[in-house]
Amino acid sequence: MAQKPCSAFFGRSRAPTRGRPFLQGAMVRVYVWEARQAAGLTLQQLENKTGISRSTLNRIENGQIVPRLDQLEAIASATNTRITALFDSPLK
């Protein structure tokens, strides 16, 4: 019987604030806000470049949801950033 995946891994966990790890107890952190700021983009501009809604981007930036791989790829491309620069993990 296969193990059920941890629900927190799939973004059902809420983070307290920007700048703190979005998964409590996990060693993963997503840096979308930092990449967007470094690229000088607004949420609206990032939405236009990625096709990801502003509300979803905002929720990713605030750690309320975990971005899918295709979303990370789109964000990396739009911000001219390597995809590995968008997250931090001890397994990186």
Spell out the domain ranges in the chain.
28-88
Token pair 């929720």: residue: 59
Contacts of 79 (CB under 8 A, 6+ apart): 35, 36, 38, 39, 41, 46
pTM reported for the whole predicted model:
0.69
Contacts of 33 (CB under 8 A, 6+ apart): 18, 61
pLDDT tens-digit series, residues 24-49:
445 468 899 999 999 999 999 999 99
**Topology of the domain comprising 28-88:** 434 Repressor (Amino-terminal Domain) (1.10.260)
pLDDT tens-digit series, residues 46-68:
999 999 999 999 999 998 998 99
Quote the Cα angle for 41-29-73, to 5°: 50
